[in-house]
A = this chain, B = another copy of it.
Amino acid sequence: MSGLKRSWVSSANGAGCPFPLNNLPYGVFSTGDQEPRCGVAIGDMILDMAAVQARGLIDLGAPDLFDMPYWNDVMELGPKGWTALRARLLQILAEGAPEQAELAPCLVPMAEAELHMPIAVSEFTDFYAGRHHATNVGTMFRGAENALPPNWLHIPIGYNGRASTVVVSGTDVIRPNGQIKPPGADRPVFGPCARLDFELEVGAIVGGNTEMGQMLSVADADAMIFGYVLLNDWSARDIQAWEYQPLGPFQAKAFATTISPWIVSAAALAPFRTPTPTREVPLLPYLAEPGPTLFDIDLSVAIQPKGAPRATTICRTNYREMYYSAAQQLAHHASSGCAMNVGDLLGSGTVSGPERENRGSMLEISWGGKEPLTLETGESRSFLEDGDTVTLSGAAQGRGYTIGFGACSGTIRPARNFDQRGDHP
């Protein structure tokens, strides 16, 4: 964890700045009526990469890589291209770089920019790889004796999610409608979710392609991960409870998934690598970890009700709590010969820790609604209410610097009435 790398962008050198030269995360932004394009966060500024390339200050061997509303084309360059990109950025943004004068006009104040989805999501897969979360949820649903399914210690359990509703931080989340079977009722009703939840997760962004039929080692999978974001896997617990047997969550998870706007590269996180926890039973060889593939990233969740003067932090945990890493999940994903693509997004599963204050969902925090939480502003919460803003935060703490992720935030809007569902477009 070598110390802070100093930049000529002075705000990047401030104590606790989430975007020092060590970080250089990748996002997509727009200003005024300009089209969204690729940018890199540095201090309180965004480096307009389209402008940088237009001035000939970076050359990765392909034109128009950055005048795009996503980083997919850069990902297609592969790890060598990613390394060259980061090396060049570290060079030209470093304190004393001769390019400073030429680059300065390419900086845009972050406060003036709108942030967009950083990638075109190819497919979204969500995992269930947090030991504490799986144990908590399993205990609630199946009892303490049957908390962990028999396959859980062998397989990074996952399911395919919905890519069409992955949205960037700041996008409102409309409370979903769905089939719900009230306790004791004979039949389900259709109506607004009454047990709306968040899930604190980390998302891994796949930056390579595999052919159908090709398998991946964990080492190769690890090298294919372009970077990481925070991810909120919004969940409708009452819809989920009624629909999920036998084929898994479907509409309960389909209405929205929020990610943070900045992709923190695997390279920036390299100093924070940490191995997965000790195995209770040995893993099959295809899932063996070749070296540390998890990361030490502090995570937290805050809720701010509409009109409340401040947010209450309701969870603090760390990504290193996961039982399986994203590299192991990706290796498992490809193990059947499933083709993986640039832009695939893998959700880690809820990152809970061992204590109540480490629980990464309302379902766990309120223990299925039985133990409501009191916020600092006095409100009580078992699940999310309309107007609540949920914000996930994440940071890796180096010696003298911080690798921040930027907020992953969403505000709950009231459910729509089916009769006002809108016309077919």
Enumerate chain A interface residues (CB-CB to B < 8 A).
122-123, 128, 149, 151, 154-155, 157-165, 167, 174, 176-179, 181, 187-190, 208-217, 220, 223-224, 236, 239, 242-252, 254-256, 281, 284-286, 332-333, 335-341, 344, 416, 418, 421-425
Q: Enumerate 23 A-B pairs (CB-CB under 8 Å) in ascending A order.
A: A123-B162, A151-B179, A154-B188, A155-B242, A157-B247, A158-B250, A159-B160, A159-B250, A160-B162, A160-B250, A165-B337, A165-B338, A165-B339, A177-B335, A189-B284, A190-B286, A209-B425, A212-B256, A217-B424, A220-B424, A223-B424, A247-B249, A255-B337
State which of B174, B245, B281, B423 has its C-beta within 8 Å of the C-beta of A337: B174
Verify A123–B164 contact, CB threshold 8 A. Answer: yes
**With a CB–CB cut-off of 8 A, which chain B residues contact A284?**
179, 188-190
- Chain B, Cβ-Cβ closest to A213: B174
Beyond A210-B425, A214-B421, A214-B422, is A157–B336 a contact (Cβ under 8 Å)?
Answer: no
Give the complex CA separation of A67 and B254 in angstroms: 34
Q: In the complex the two chains form, is B164's CB within 8 Å of A338's CB?
A: yes
* Cβ B216 vs Cβ A164 within 8 A: no
The answer to whether B424 touches A236, judged by C-beta atoms less than 8 angstroms apart, is no
Cα-based distance from A224 to B423 in the complex (angstroms): 12
Smallest CB gap from A161: residue in B: B160
| Complex A-B, nearest 10 residue pairs according to Cβ-Cβ distance, in ascending order | A248-B248, A215-B421, A254-B338, A160-B160, A220-B424, A251-B336, A176-B336, A174-B213, A159-B247, A164-B339
A217 to chain B, nearest CB (A): 7
Known: A209-B425, A251-B333, A337-B416. 16 other contacts (CB 8 A): A123-B162, A151-B179, A157-B246, A157-B250, A174-B337, A177-B335, A177-B337, A178-B335, A179-B335, A212-B255, A214-B425, A215-B422, A223-B424, A239-B336, A251-B332, A254-B336
